[in-house]
Structure 1
């Protein structure tokens, strides 16, 4: 017997999940007077290099050539129709601000939730008297963005954030209207027929493997599994997935996705293989200094430091990742020393291509952490110095005050200080 939820008493909202189709690539098309749906264009970081990474591609690039985000420049076919554009992050942020202005014509700030630079949630439950039905509002937004900015947007509609997102990802992107509506009444016919576990919001490759290990290979099977069994194998997330498999999500936009514990992370793909480990250390210190400044700007400390090093694709080994628990700190000096220590302990004399650093265990700063090997006066002096450096750089830019090592071979801080979101502005 199939178990179906009774939806008569669950809350219902009118939620839109809206995605700008191939945002970066579409914005580049519009700037050139081209239609994003009929053009062959890719946005590539470091387009001068064959290893340049595709950040966005127009729908035709995906459909005709199979080129999508994550492809490399050398994979592009030799076709004169293809336009290669370097990323312009400041331009995309400006377009994003214009799109946001359009959204806020239809909902107040508290009913608007940015999910990424090209995707948002809107709660239009209170907007019907002014703008009509939910579908009418969605169509008005689509037309406003197309007419004013030349961009095509796709929209999922649902009774909650989950159903709206699933409607967007699993149906709206496949239909000509670029609009799909999934309500509680559609759970059995639509949600339970999602093709793969990883097509479901919140289930990645790792979680899919864990579900398959306990005999669950579809969303329907997930919905029919006892929640106590799911909790036993997966913890609280198992119970959450059970209710999600029935389309239930009680999150509200004005209270959704406020994590109790955040993490700060930074990832850098180097422009070449670094064979000299001392050059790697320079980049690690630059990254650590920038991230420590972010901690101080948020008045928080970290107590968990994580370093992930990936070696060259020509190396016989992949690299290493290691984390270390530390006393709560946001000191550039301390964090640089810890990361350097981790690097030298695990480095295996292979060329490095990718460096990733993250700080976890984030908590509000409660006081100054004293050091047994350093006088309190010295500790206070170092903290004041670091905050002074933060203020100078914030006002005058990174190059106004930097370490001499940032001028040496291999350093990337000066060049990357002109980037936006890790790419050229």
Structure 2
């Protein structure tokens, strides 16, 4: 049996904290209901059968099987379920209040915001003021409940990985919502995770690759040859091996934001679009906004990926296509690339969802000349786009829009008032 010597591994006191059914809990409190006893479901576009569940209270999940991603038509009629529209601005405000509570217990450098409802705290330096790791966890949990009436679950570990695994696989099942996983517990905790996709960082695609190697459990992964894993899957394979032993050497106070980040945009349409012109209007709007984000970060993309999803009534689900391009942040060029991919692969099916994403990102320090246009054209185009960006930044996106956005197919003007794609 392969076992690790953890004596030289960093040991920190890490908390991974999750707000239970965050959106649904906030709405429950707003309505004067207990978040763990309510039947609240937060749903986008609730007036449509295809309305999407963004969050469901714990009782709804347990009694009705409704969860994030469920649709309006899946909710039983004549049930106790109370459907509410999302209030994204409120969720951001409450998130800020929760973060302020965290900062009462740790320094800002020891706090990592993983998502709107989940955070990592390194409380190693907080014991003199607040007690043991378990006591700090209880105090944070109690403080959030007393001030905001929100219930949080907490995973405790020797590193961020172990804390996250304790949260996902144990804390949420405990009555008090707290669980501890340490290096010494690996054989009885981490290695018992089933199925392997319950392991943080292993999705269905990675699991399929591991299955082909005869690996169908975290324990199997921990006993596989690390050299073989690295040879087959590169550094990711090596990382998976060490994660299967609970090893994660990242330190929260040393965290950094990598330059390579994701640039993209997606949206679900309010109705099926069957007119190719209307679909192209939306593609133009989305590509224009993605290009503006690239310019804002002084970045360029060398690959455009377009995803088109058809209506749920169609057997063919849609298509994903990508194309390498000369590095650019030009709205015109990104729009042209997206339209080329669309026109080449679209087969007149009704469209309900679109996504545009960028790959091969690099950050420019000087003007990037294009082989296919003169330097004067490049400079003129970039100056024009900078002017447009500045006007939109100061007066809002809708201060300058393409005329096509005023047609029936345009969505940019309507969506400009949304927060994260939903009503504020």
The alignment's TM-score, normalised by the length of structure 2, stands at 0.98
Which residue is equivalent to 2:245?
246
Q: Aligned equivalents of 2:242 and 2:374: distance in 1?
A: 55
Aligned-residue offset at 1:372 = 4.8
Q: 1:263-274 counterparts in 2 under 5 A?
A: 263-274=262-273
CA contact (8 A) 1:43 1:85 kept: yes
Distance 1:85 1:289 in 2: 32
Q: Which residue of 2 aligns with 1:400?
A: 399
* CA 1:74–1:257: 2 relative to 1, 3 Å: farther
Matches within 5 A, 1:99-118: 99-118=98-117
Cα distance in 2 between the residues matched to 1:203 and 1:288: 31
- 1:401-416 pair list within 5 angstroms: 401-416=400-415
**Counterpart of 1:187 in 2: which secondary structure?**
helix
Return the offset for 1:265: 1.6
Who is 1:354 aligned against? 353
Q: Which digits, 9 at most, give the CA deviation of each residue in 1:388-415, with x for residues without a partner? A: 1111111111221111111101110011
1:177 alignment partner in structure 2: 176
1:263 and 1:361 in contact (8 A); partners too: no
* Partner Cα distance (2:138, 2:264) in 1: 38
Corresponding residue SS for 2:6: coil
Stretch deviating more after TM superposition (253-262 or 63-72): 253-262
Q: Verify: 1:123 aligned to 2:116, yes or no.
A: no
SS at match of 2:7: coil
Deviation of 1:80 after TM superposition, in Å, equals 5.1
Q: How does 1:1-400 map to 2 (within 5 A)?
A: 2-79=1-78, 81-256=80-255, 258-400=257-399
Distance 2:372 2:224 in 1: 56
Q: CA deviation at 1:263?
A: 2.1
CA displacement, residues 166-185 of structure 1 (integer Å, 9 cap, x when unaligned): 00000000010100000001
Q: CA offset at residue 81 of structure 1? A: 2.5
Distance 1:324 1:257 in 2: 30
Moved more, 232-241 or 19-28: 232-241
Task: Identify if the C-alpha distance between structure 1 residues 257 and 190 changes in structure 2 by more than 3 Å, giving closer, same or farther.
Answer: farther
Structure 1 residue ranges without an equivalent (≥5): none
Q: Aligned-pair distance for 1:135? A: 0.5
Q: Answer whether contact 1:262 1:360 (CA < 8 A) is retained.
A: no
Post-superposition offset of 1:314: 2.1
Listed as ranges, the matches of 1:411-422 within 5 Å are 411-422=410-421
Task: Measure, in 2, the Cα distance between the counterparts of 1:212 and 1:374.
Answer: 49
Q: Secondary structure at the match of 1:8?
A: helix
- Name the count of aligned residue pairs: 424
Question: Structure 2: how far apart are the matches of 1:232 and 1:299?
Answer: 36
Partner Cα separation in structure 2 for residue 111 and residue 363 of structure 1: 29
Report the Cα distance in structure 2 between the residues aligned to 1:108 and 1:68, rounded to whole angstroms. Answer: 35
Q: Is the Cα contact below 8 Å between 2:153 and 2:178 reproduced in 1?
A: yes
| Residue pair 2:326, 2:370 contacting (<8 A) in 1 also | no
C-alpha change, 1:406 and 1:217, in structure 2 (3 Å) is same
Return 5+ residue gaps in structure 2 as ranges.
Answer: none
